[in-house]
Amino acid sequence: MMSANNTLYITTPIYYVNDVPHIGHAYTTVAADVLARYWRLHGREVFFLTGLDEHGQKVQQAAAKAGIDPQAHCDKLAPQFRHLWTRLNISNDAFIRTTDVQHIKVVQRYLQELFEKQLIYKADYSGWYCTFDERFWTEKDVENGLCPDCKRTVEKLSEHNYFFKMGQYQDRLIEHIKKHDRFIRPESRRNEVLGFLTTQKLGDLSISRPKTRLSWGIELPFDTDYVTYVWFDALVNYVSALEYLPRETPVGHRFWPANVHLVGKDILTTHAVYWSTMLMALNLPLPETIFAHGWWTVDGEKMSKSRGNVVDPYKMIDEFGVDAFRYFLLREVPFGQDGDFSLTGMITRINSDLANGLGNLLSRTLTLIERTQGGVIPAPGPTGPAEQELEQATITLLREILPRHLEQLEFNRALEGIWHVVQLANQYVDKTAPWTLAKSERDAAQLKTVLYTMAEILRCLSIATYAVMPKSAQTICAQLGLADDYVQSLEIGTIQWGDLLPGTAIRKGPSLFPRIDSKTQGAKPVTDSSVPSQPTATVPTPTPAAPVVPQVTIDEFMKVQLRTAKILSAERVPKSEKLIKLQVSLGDEQRQIVAGIGKKYEPDVLVGKTIVIVANLKPAKLMGIESQGMVLAAGDTDVRGLLTIQEEVDPGTKVK
């Protein structure tokens, strides 16, 4: 994800101005912000664009219902998104509105260009129209008079319209997708688009609406009785913004093509097919990557206003803090897959990872420096294997693990790598017991080594976490006595172990991540950890008596479907020493499986293994986490080994 001229262009979709901002909007925009911040730390010149789609029938109808002009309606609603991005600490370089005069001029210029190339023609059209999706459907698409996408009632329309000759680019688009394996991601979405394009004929695209039906839109430059289709208008924003929104001169020639368009999976077709063929027709390069992420459910149910379960980002920020919310969004599920939001899950993440992990490490370190060193970071004494191991793990994190995963948009894997170092650091504190070293003058040099090592790890962790949790990273720096903008002034490639200057006066402040009392559903913080920390007690799971296993017939056994699966990611389930949550690939699908193998294996060693699972087991919840299958392992009471495949076998292969 790197341009030859050292630039990087990242976009989110432009969101419907009518929408109430929800977790889906926050998810896409936070992910884009993380990429932007990360690449700026690598010295790239980043242009990060987001904004609003303000034309179309839904906007016109909402304005009419409110009794105001559509432009006034948009002006009234636009600040709700701008304000949310401020609350979420989004570092976008520009915010586009499709009602901008300059954007309208670019759209009309491209329409005129396509018309003069005879790539736009006028024809009669009859079809089923969905007002909500603002698109036509064919007879075979519609079932029981409902839109196949949103399930709302459609209406039959017959009218003259202008069409873009999209169909003539079908073969060229297929060839491009096959040649560029990073063009559509993740791979499952790439396969979906290819499947669509290779199994049916791509029709031409209606790109106009008569003003008699819709007047709120961009007027066609070659026929003033029509406005352009809202998607033609909206998609052009990615190139029009580069002409007029940068602070200096237009930068389109340097930043286009975009490095990554981040979109939800519901609008992948419009981007991968409509937008790609439009660019081909305009002789413009296609974006490097279109990445379609999954949807969020809430406690296992689809979000909807009627259910009253739409997650309000403002409320999450108010109750849990902006960085805790950002962390949860990107830590909980692999980017690209669907995720489930629950207050319980979020509180668990805050308490186990943030409060007991990073927050506790900061609190312990600063408290000990304050108590034993007069609030000044000491010069380290001689180091040993324990310190060298931590130094190596920290530098590996910054130079190898973060680049490897963030450049692939594997946010959860990058965060797993960071929290591995957090865990190592807390274990180091427990093993060295600096509160005990402080009791003896003979151990003074070792105490200084331990405290300096702890502080230096925190400095490096502030850099590692900055892209995801910028406010907290700056807080860590400030409490270590560094400048508030310390991280922004760095480039990750220049980081060296030992750059923290001894003699720096710390500025210990409030707890970074107060623990949350789950009984109050996030409303009440609990007092921060003391020094030394006390290990969290776990309730041992009783081992059931081995049942008598009855014999089964071959017909009964054949009902069990065994398949190979490749482990994509692995992480421990909070508050369980046995359970590990796995994300596995079965070739044509990905699944989440919770396995009781945590006493035998560390998560890191599992990634990449090809294992055997029961694929047709009914999903069940373990500690509130859904498991979609069962891992096969050997052992009586304890797991002694996983059933793995040594040879190269494709994920999803049947086991006989």
- What are the residues whose beta carbons fall under 8 Å from the beta carbon of 306, sequence distance 6 or more? none
Q: For the stretch 114-138, what's the b/e string if a residue is b when 16 or more beta carbons lie within 10 angstroms of its beta carbon?
A: bbeeebbeeeebebbbbbebbbbbe
- What are the residues whose beta carbons fall under 8 Å from the beta carbon of 377, sequence distance 6 or more? 369, 451, 452, 455, 480, 481, 500, 501, 502, 503, 504, 505, 506
Contact 390, 424 (CB under 8 A): yes
pLDDT number for residue 519: 55
Q: Angle CA(529)–CA(450)–CA(428) in degrees, nearest 5?
A: 60
Please name the amino acid found at residue 62.
A
Q: Which residue has the tokens 């069990």?
A: 560
pLDDT number for residue 286: 98
**DSSP strand pairing (633-634 vs 630-631):** unpaired
Contact 572, 600 (CB under 8 A): no
- What are the residues whose beta carbons fall under 8 Å from the beta carbon of 528, sequence distance 6 or more? 355, 359, 360, 363, 511, 514, 515
pLDDT digits (tens, 9 = 90+) for 240-289: 999 999 866 667 678 999 999 999 999 999 999 999 999 999 999 999 99
pLDDT number for residue 529: 37
Closest C-alpha to 121, from 239, 220, 230, 213 = 220
SS3 letters for 420-447? HHHHHHHHHHHHHCHHHHCCCHHHHHHH
pLDDT digits (tens, 9 = 90+) for 409-436: 999 999 999 999 999 999 999 999 999 9
pLDDT number for residue 241: 95
Structure tokens at 84: 């949310």
Q: Is the confidence at residue 311, as pLDDT, over 80?
A: yes
User: If you average pLDDT over residues 218-233, what whole number do you get?
Assistant: 95
Contact 193, 273 (CB under 8 A): yes
Q: For the stretch 411-444, what's the b/e string if a residue is b when 16 or more beta carbons lie within 10 angstroms of its beta carbon?
A: bbbbbbbbbbbbebbbebbeebebbebbeeeebe
The pTM of the full predicted model, rounded to 2 decimals, is 0.78
* Count of Cβ atoms closer than 10 Å to residue 143 Cβ: 10
Give the SS3 label for residue 327: helix
Q: Is the confidence at residue 532, as pLDDT, over 70?
A: no
Q: Is the confidence at residue 127, as pLDDT, over 60?
A: yes
Q: What is the DSSP string of 442-503?
A: GGHHHHHHHHHHHHHHHHHHHHHHTTT-HHHHHHHHHHTT--TTTTTT--GGG--TT-SPTT
Instruction: Tell which phi-psi region holds residue 522, choosing left (phi > 0), alpha (psi between -120 and 50) or beta.
Output: left
Q: Angle CA(541)–CA(598)–CA(358) in degrees, nearest 5?
A: 100
pLDDT number for residue 248: 64
Contact 466, 459 (CB under 8 A): no
CA dihedral angle for residue 407, residue 408, residue 410, residue 411, rounded to 10 degrees: 30
What sign does the CA torsion over 349, 355, 357, 362 have? Answer: positive
Contact 214, 60 (CB under 8 A): yes
Q: Is the confidence at residue 143, as pLDDT, over 90?
A: no
Specify the length of the chain in residues: 656
Contact 207, 162 (CB under 8 A): yes
pLDDT number for residue 537: 33
Which CATH fold would you assign to the domain 324-526? Isoleucyl-tRNA Synthetase; Domain 1 (1.10.730)
- What are the residues whose beta carbons fall under 8 Å from the beta carbon of 419, sequence distance 6 or more? 353, 357, 358
Structure tokens at 420: 């591995």
Q: What is the DSSP string of 77-109?
A: HHHHHHHHHHHTT---SEEEETT-HHHHHHHHH
Contact 249, 218 (CB under 8 A): no
Q: Is the confidence at residue 39, as pLDDT, over 90?
A: yes
How far, in Å, CA of 396 to CA of 236, rounded?
41
pLDDT number for residue 2: 45
Q: Which of 168-182, 214-228, 504-518 is predicted with the least confidence, judged by mean pLDDT? A: 504-518
Which CATH number does 7-294 carry? 3.40.50.620
- Between 544 and 615, name the one with better pLDDT: 615
pLDDT number for residue 27: 96
pLDDT number for residue 636: 65
Domain ranges of the chain: 7-294, 324-526, 554-642
Structure tokens at 629: 């299958």
Contact 237, 205 (CB under 8 A): no
pLDDT number for residue 544: 40
Long-range contacts of 521-530 (CB under 8 A, 24+ apart): 521/343, 521/347, 522/319, 522/320, 522/343, 522/346, 522/347, 523/319, 528/355, 528/359, 528/360, 528/363, 529/355, 529/356, 529/359, 529/360, 529/363, 529/364
How far, in Å, CA of 421 to CA of 427, rounded?
10
- What are the residues whose beta carbons fall under 8 Å from the beta carbon of 624, sequence distance 6 or more? 342, 344, 345
- For domain 554-642, the question of CATH label 2.40.50.140 is answered with yes
Structure tokens at 445: 């040099």
Structure tokens at 262: 């981040």
Q: Which of 300-314, 424-438, 509-523 is predicted with the least confidence, judged by mean pLDDT? A: 509-523
Q: Angle CA(51)–CA(54)–CA(57) in degrees, nearest 5?
A: 150
Give me the percent of the chain exceeding a pLDDT of 90.
64
How far, in Å, CA of 258 to CA of 252, rounded?
10
pLDDT digits (tens, 9 = 90+) for 617-650: 888 888 878 899 999 988 866 787 888 887 777 7
Q: What is the average pLDDT score of the chain?
A: 88
pLDDT digits (tens, 9 = 90+) for 50-79: 999 999 888 999 999 999 999 999 999 999
Q: What is the largest CA-CA distance in the chain?
A: 92
Provide the β-strand partners of residue 395. Answer: none
